Amino acid sequence: MSETYYDLMRRQGISRRSFLKFCSLTAASLGLSEAGAQQIAQAMQTKPRTPVVWLHGLECTCCTESFIRSAHPLAKDVVLSMLSLDYDDTLMAAAGHQAEEALEQTIAKYKGNYILAVEGNPPLADDGIYCIPGGRPFVDKLRHVAKDAKAIVSWGSCASWGCVQAAKPNPTRATPVHKVITDKPIIKVPGCPPIAEVMTGVVTYILTFDRLPDLDAQGRPKMFYSQRIHDKCYRRPHFDAGQFVEHFDDAGARMGYCLYKVGCKGPVTYNACSALRWNDGLSFPIQSGHGCIGCSEDAFWDKGSFYDHLTTIRPPGGLGIEGTADRIGLGAVAVAGAAIAAHAAVSAIKQARSKTRNDKVSEAEK
Amino acid sequence: MNIDRVSGQVLSGPLEPIYVYEAPVRLWHWVMMVAMLVLAATGYLIGSPPPSIGGEATFSYFFAWIRMIHFIAAMIFAVAFLVRIYWAFVGNHSSRAIFLPPVWSGRWWRGLFNQVAYYLFLKKEPDLWVGHNPLAQLAMFAMYTLGTLFIIVTGLALYAQQWGWGTWPMNVMGWVFVLFGDPQEVRTWHHLAMWYLLLFAVIHVYMVFREDIMSGESVIGTMTNGIRMWKRAPKP
């Protein structure tokens, strides 16, 4: 508990010069000033390392795959120098009983002081039997480890929202972490997977400043999720100009026009892809010619085709009628129109009849 | 002329013209109509953009103009609605009708059933009303008032997105996204609300013409000059 990050880095043969470089790069990736770099350096030299326990529930490990590709800071720096990753069944050397033992030791030793990172989510149906790591339901393990955690990081859309395993009809009742653990601060880092630099950035921030970053109303760190893909998209001028890709093989696609009409969810997706990009800033989906599928938003998997901008709506009750808002609306207006025409016709007939009757009455009166 | 003060039903004659819709109400009505048409047209185009434009992006601002017209019309729409709410407090009896159907009045409920029976051709002649008949009032409240409130709130939330979380527009409107779960859901509901209001408009226009021709009151003229004229005496 007494060893600091800096001690450990020096012990691993990292020079002070490299250490300071690392601090400034990390500060830059977090959007902090030069003073921020000094703060990070200060924190890492004085604060004891905070252990992190990384649990895997119902998931595909794409979050881990993304995490280990982080360039700023390098994942190896985070894992070996910053993070005291005491338990992660994918990345740790130990396995089986040894691994579970390490977990219990961490919980006992750092009670109320460790960060719990959750990748994936617990399925709740049938007492949680659809996800059994280490011989017991994941939901039990999650509750057990979360009880003594300081804070929880929900990695990816699985832990944050539920993701594909929670898609309708969600047979295993896969449930996001914040609906199972309600008494701990939870920070959501959605995305399928989240951007590597976002993941390491969030961890670095929590560890160095010893507090959670500013969160928006939906629990995501503002520094990475406050703006939409659309707001910083380099194809935005084509959107404003009305220049759209109509098909993936047309001239507009070759010209790099806006992908709005082929289903891009950039305008409704909060993430940092268009600013940070992927694979060391190389590219991101829109740059490679495919619309954003909105993977960091809640229920993106239940919104119909990735290639339609408007959501497919399925009326409740499984009637099998599908459509967009336009088809449903136009249908409703058409039905109303037909009803009106019928009503108007009957009204006209009634009116005409009563008129003839009135005329007859008045004639009789004469 | 004997009028029930709560429901606005005309109980007995002699009938004389009554000033029903005050100038701000009439002005609001026609501003709403124009704004709604502009909003529906531009809103539909935002959901399903027109064919792509060629050339350099520098020289075109076509889609942005569609959105800007939508936003301007939306602001006028919202402000007109706000002014209308204000007028409900200071205006006459009819200015409150679309916000507060008098569900506590037995006469109003009887009038509602009579009106339904009249439209189903089960009753020959409708009752006479100073303002809206109870069915019209209920439809105005459920479709126009609630629909408009809903479309303004979801619309302002979608509009606030351009500034992002942590800015004052999102601090004010962010709860909408928490309520719906995600922005795409808000879009879809905003879009459905447009059709809900268009559905209202279609029914409204039909009813207005039908009532003007067949009922015992003036209707279209009333929204122009504010005065309700009568064509016959109420049935006892």
| Average pLDDT value over all residues in chain B | 90
Residue A251: band (very low, low, confident or very high) from pLDDT cuts 50, 70, 90 = very high
Query: pLDDT by residue (tens digit) across A224-240?
Result: 999 999 999 999 999 99
Beginning with the edge strand found earlier in the chain, give each strand of the sheet holding A149-155 in spatial order: A84-88, A51-56, A114-119, A149-155, A186-189
Beta strand pairing call for B10-12 and B2-3: antiparallel
Q: What is the pLDDT of residue B38?
A: 97
Identify the CA nearest to A58 among candidates A172, A219, A182, A178.
Answer: A172
User: Within 13 A of A326's CA, how many CA atoms are on the CB side?
Assistant: 12
What torsion do the CA atoms of B213, A331, B152, B170 make, to the nearest 10 degrees? 180
Residues in A touching B183 (Cβ below 8 Å) = 228, 267-270, 297
Asked if the Cβ–Cβ distance from B52 to A227 is below 8 Å, we say no
Backbone angles phi, psi at A336, to 5 degrees: -60, -40
Asked if the Cβ–Cβ distance from B214 to A225 is below 8 Å, we say no
Identify the CA nearest to A201 among candidates A231, A228, A222.
Answer: A222
- Please identify among residues 153-172 of chain B the ones whose CB lies closer than 8 Å to any CB of chain A: 161-162, 164-166, 170
Question: Residue A19 pLDDT more than 80?
Answer: yes
Read off the pLDDT of each residue in A66-71 and give the average, rounded to a whole number: 84
Residue of A nearest to B49 (CA): A261
The C-alpha atoms of residue B166 and residue B177 are separated, in whole angstroms, by 14
Residues in A touching B53 (Cβ below 8 Å) = 241-243
Question: Residue A79 pLDDT more than 80?
Answer: no
Q: What is the pLDDT of residue A248?
A: 94
| Element housing A365 (H / E) | helix A325-365
Q: What is the pLDDT of residue A67?
A: 87
- Domains assigned to chain A: 5-225 (3.40.50.700), 230-302 (4.10.480.10)
Minimum mean pLDDT among A188-192, A246-250, B82-86, B96-100: which range? B96-100
Please give the interface size between A and B, counted as residue pairs whose CB atoms are below 8 Å apart: 152
Non-local (6+) Cβ contacts of B211 within 8 A are: B217, B219
Query: pLDDT by residue (tens digit) across A28-37?
Result: 877 788 888 8
Q: What is the percent of chain B with per-residue pLDDT over 90, rounded to a whole number? A: 61
| Element housing B19 (H / E) | strand B18-19
ipTM of the complex: 0.88
Give chain B's length.
Answer: 236
**Cα–chain-centroid distance for residue A250?**
31
Q: What is the pLDDT of residue A303?
A: 86
Rounded to 10°, the helix B183-214/B23-47 angle is 130
Residue of B nearest to A354 (CA): B124
Query: pLDDT by residue (tens digit) across A166-185?
Result: 998 899 999 999 999 999 99
Using a CB–CB cutoff of 8 Å, tell me whether A335 touches chain B: no
Residue of B nearest to A238 (CA): B57
Identify the CA nearest to B207 among candidates B123, B130, B124, B118.
Answer: B118
Number of Cβ atoms within 10 Å of the Cβ of A76: 10
Q: What is the pLDDT of residue B11?
A: 83
Q: What is the percent of chain A with per-residue pLDDT over 90, rounded to a whole number? A: 46
| Average pLDDT value over all residues in chain A | 86
Residues in A touching B52 (Cβ below 8 Å) = 242-246, 252, 257, 261
User: Within 13 A of B173's CA, how many CA atoms are on the CB side?
Assistant: 21
Read off the pLDDT of each residue in B14-28 and give the average, rounded to a whole number: 89
| Element housing A51 (H / E) | strand A51-56
Identify the CA nearest to A199 among candidates A216, A180, A221, A178.
Answer: A221
Q: Where are the domains of chain B?
A: 19-48+63-228
Question: Residue B233 pLDDT more than 80?
Answer: no
Please name the member of B50, B165, B185 whose beta carbon is closest to the beta carbon of A226.
B165
The C-alpha atoms of residue A100 and residue A144 are separated, in whole angstroms, by 12
Q: What is the pLDDT of residue A1?
A: 46
Pairwise pLDDT comparison (B38 vs B97), residue with the higher score: B38
Using a CB–CB cutoff of 8 Å, tell me whether A330 touches chain B: yes
Minimal C-alpha gap between B63 and chain A (Å)? 4
Residue of A nearest to B44 (CA): A326
Minimum mean pLDDT among A40-44, A52-56, A260-264, B21-25: which range? A40-44
Identify the CA nearest to B181 among candidates B159, B157, B160.
Answer: B157
Cα A29 to Cα A24, A199, B164, distances in angstroms = 9, 11, 20
CATH classification (class only), B19-48+63-228: mainly alpha
Question: Residue A300 pLDDT more than 80?
Answer: yes
Query: Is the separation of the CB atoms in B181 and A299 below 8 Å?
Result: yes
Rounded to 10°, the helix A138-147/A96-109 angle is 30
